[in-house]
Chain A
């Protein structure tokens, strides 16, 4: 349950955990939108996410849209193979920048 937000090299790193489903998506959405509002580039670390359904993915899409409007960036880190298949199904892999791990993501950002 502990989504932590920390700052690394001027980027916000948000770690989502556990199952992001219909019941928990609103919470994740609020957290993501709060981070985006701080007008910094956001890295969403999904390495501790065991399951994400389309309500969770929709929250990520909305956060990305907000970030783009603010001229900042939002990218995903460590997307599980299960989630990646769903992303590909909806062609979202073309919309999000997806990095294998945090180091690669930070290197990409700077």
Chain B
């Protein structure tokens, strides 16, 4: 495994990186789920984090947006180390970051317009009319005009995701995080979301981090792709580099056989007989995480 990790190519180490993760380690209880994560995202870049289920990509995203604290290491967003920043500085930083969750996470008790306006109401002193126009503008951007008064329960899956994007970008964030944009959507709708992501970067020069397991979507939008496997970074490369990689695991990912490809006989037997794996066995940790993390 160490040999694989070393394959990580040179990373852009510019000083104005909008995301910089250094030496990140994360545990669930005693079990380590992320190992030695190093990652940078440049301004205006679309970085896709890929991996199968249980690869740790969702956990990594939770650390990136400050929903989990790492056991060790630092996570810098727009120059602020969110593992150490005081509450007030975090509050300021939150204005410049947007997060679109996998299931949309719209507040079910509010209509679409109020959902989108909530960050403005909580963070700014703007006039109500200004906030409303801003929210409606964002609805236009995500192609959801006319849905203002609908409740989240009345929206289709694709509409929920677009409303979630509208809420995430309502404050014109410099940095947007997007969790599984394609999950649960049919190909046409998910392709439209990919176009939206590209459009946002183009027009608003946002830096965007997308977590996905959809290869097609990743190849379409990514400037660079980070491949995670069992809590470690396998490689960071541009689309062309990923395509021609001869690493077996990446090839497995490309062929969508990631799920069952990696289990050795001993682990498999232990799993079938329900015998607990020895602590600190990364192989077992990686497979067991399926149940817990997703």
**Do the two chains touch directly in the complex (Cβ atoms below 8 Å apart)?**
yes
Residues of A within 8 A of B126 (CB): 22, 25-26, 55
- Given A25-B126, A29-B127, A55-B130: A61 and B203 within 8 A (CB)? no
Residue A101 at the chain B interface, CB threshold 8 Å: no
Asked if A61 contacts B133 (CB within 8 A), the reply is: yes
Q: Mark contacts of A9-34 with chain B using CB atoms, 8 A cut-off: 1 yes-contact digit, 0 otherwise.
A: 00000000000001001100100000
Q: Is the CB of B129 within 8 A of A62?
A: yes
- Taking CB atoms, residues of chain B closer than 8 Å to A53 are 172
Interface size class of A (residues with CB under 8 A): 20 to 34
- Which residues between 27 and 79 of chain A lie within 8 Å of chain B, taking CB atoms? 29, 53-55, 57-59, 61-62
Q: Least Cβ distance of B168 to chain A in Å? A: 13
Given contacts A22-B126, A26-B125, contact A85 B140 (CB under 8 A): no
Question: Per a CB cutoff under 8 Å, which of A26, A29, A88 touches B203?
Answer: A88
**B144 touches A (CB below 8 Å):** no
Alpha-carbon distance between A88 and B203 when the two chains are bound, in angstroms: 8
Task: Give the 5 A-B residue pairs with the shortest CB-CB distance, closest first.
Answer: A58-B133, A89-B203, A85-B203, A58-B134, A53-B172
B residues in contact (CB < 8 Å) with A: 95, 123-127, 129-131, 133-134, 137-138, 140-141, 170-172, 199-200, 202-205
25 contacts between A and B (CB under 8 A): A22-B95, A22-B123, A22-B124, A22-B126, A22-B171, A25-B126, A26-B130, A54-B172, A55-B126, A55-B134, A57-B134, A58-B134, A61-B133, A61-B137, A62-B129, A62-B133, A85-B204, A86-B203, A88-B203, A89-B141, A89-B199, A89-B203, A90-B137, A90-B141, A92-B137
